[in-house]
Amino acid sequence: MSRESRNTPPSNPGSRDLAVGADRAENAPDPRRWLALTLLVTAFFMVIVDSQIVMLALPAIETELSFAAGGAQWVMSAYLLSFGGLLMFGGRTADLLGGRRMFLFGTALFGIASVLCGLAWTDEVLVTARVIQGVAAAVMTPTAMAVLMHTFAEGPERNKALGIWTGIGAFGATAALLIGGPITDGLGWEWIFYINVPVVAAVLIFGPRLLKETPVRPGRRRFDPAGAVTITAAIALLVYAVSEAPVIGWGSGETIGLLIAAAVLFVIFTVIESRSKAPLVPLRIFRSPTVVGGNILMIIVAMAVYGGALITSLYAQQVLGYSAVKFGLSTAVYALMSIIGANVSARLVVKVGYKPIAIVGMALLSGGLLLLTQIDPNGGYWSDLFFGLVIFGSGIGSTNVAASIASLTGAKPEESGLVSGINNAVFQIGAALGIAIASSVAFAYATGTDAKGLNDGFQAGFLATAVFALVGLVTALLLLLNRNSGQPQAAPAAPAEPAEAPKVHVPAGH
């Protein structure tokens, strides 16, 4: 026997088999992933409901806490501004500190703020608590999506999971309208906040057992405070400006000043990020055509969806005379169609790619909104709303899934929180723009305060939102047309390694 053969350890096939088996077990899908998804979408549902449910309780809150004239709107605005403004920073905390850890922290803070809202003894306390609640939501939402992306490999299962996520978001907005009135009338406005407590408790109990921690960005943890402050202020100013513009006027000095200030802050933010050693938002992210196209499409989708939903609400309540509860029941059809559309699209996207889904979805949004332009002052639910809402709702689910897939595909594991934060932030900006522009158009084209005059304005409002959707259709055709964009994938792929142009694998929803 040679010296080499004497010194070489004998081969052990059993050891190799054990190693291969351990590797497969490590990379196998988590058997608890669907329970984890249930927990994540439950928390997301709570956040969405909380952003809408206050609308129906505002009269009671205003009376009991003696808000100054017009001051009660800040119960909603404080939440939406802190929520929208901090989404990018909230998403980045997942990359630096861990998605599960920050999701649970955000959930705990949301629960504390909810209790403080219910106990509020003055208007200032309530508005402050709503700001804290918005901060918590800004941490919860992108970190939950980061955990979801880490739990489900890029491919068919992630598509399905994100389709469910999208559908739950749509249903949450309608559920708020259904339960807000009865809770306020039956239990008191405080209970629209207290109902969050058992949900928070369930998430905090089961979250540590069911949720996987996300990869943490390697190296020194730097939070880029200058970038965080400037982007948060820029988004908050932009959302505030477009939200107030219908009241104070688009051409007013205040609106123009706020928009200029927001633009200047965005420029400063870009300069800071280009020079920072550890930027909040690495600008290379925007070199990806799918990321840019997906986020532009997301803004347009939000404009069309929220603008259309607002005009539908105004027409139903001010022309058809629906109560808030009846309106919530009547619009459940488009929430249901959104859930169906999202889940069907999540399955089809694996076969055809997300670009065809985006195109079909934007066509459905456009068609539904154009059909709603035919509303009549003497109309009714079945003749004027139902069929338009069915088509509109189908488009909501499809476009959200396609836009999110484009904007999230190929994200590096350690940047999943950031891209989720960007995705949610642009959606909030689009929602504010859609509501502001649609309401401004409806007000400008109203020919009177009777049903006929209001109906003229609402027709114009629906037409404006249809134009948003048509612009989105063009965007889907142009911005998502890069060489590999939207191609279907036969099997799930591993998360992409660092690359300047992320590989497009077909995948994810809002």
DSSP 372-437: HTT--TT--IIIIIHHHHHHHHHHHHHHHHHHHHHHHTT--GGGHHHHHHHHHHHHHHHHHHHHHH
Which pLDDT value is given to residue 242? 80
Long-range contacts of 196-200 (CB under 8 A, 24+ apart): 196/46, 196/50, 196/110, 196/111, 196/114, 197/111, 197/114, 197/115, 199/42, 199/43, 199/46, 200/46, 200/107, 200/108, 200/110, 200/111, 200/114
Cα dist. 344→163, 222, 369 in Å? 8, 41, 21
| Residues 173, 393: Cα–Cα separation, whole Å | 13
| Residues 13, 17: Cα–Cα separation, whole Å | 6
| Residues 507, 201: Cα–Cα separation, whole Å | 32
Which pLDDT value is given to residue 508? 34
Residue numbers in the chain where pLDDT is lower than 70: 1-28, 69-73, 170, 173-174, 177, 217-223, 324-325, 410-416, 479-510
- Evaluate the CA torsion angle 227, 233, 234, 239 in order and state its sign: positive
Residues 16-41: tens digit of each pLDDT: 544 444 444 445 677 788 899 999 98
Place of tokens 């943890």: 221
Helix (H/G/I), strand (E/B), else coil: 493: strand
Which pLDDT value is given to residue 495? 32
Which pLDDT value is given to residue 444? 87
Which pLDDT value is given to residue 497? 31
Element (H, E) at 499: none
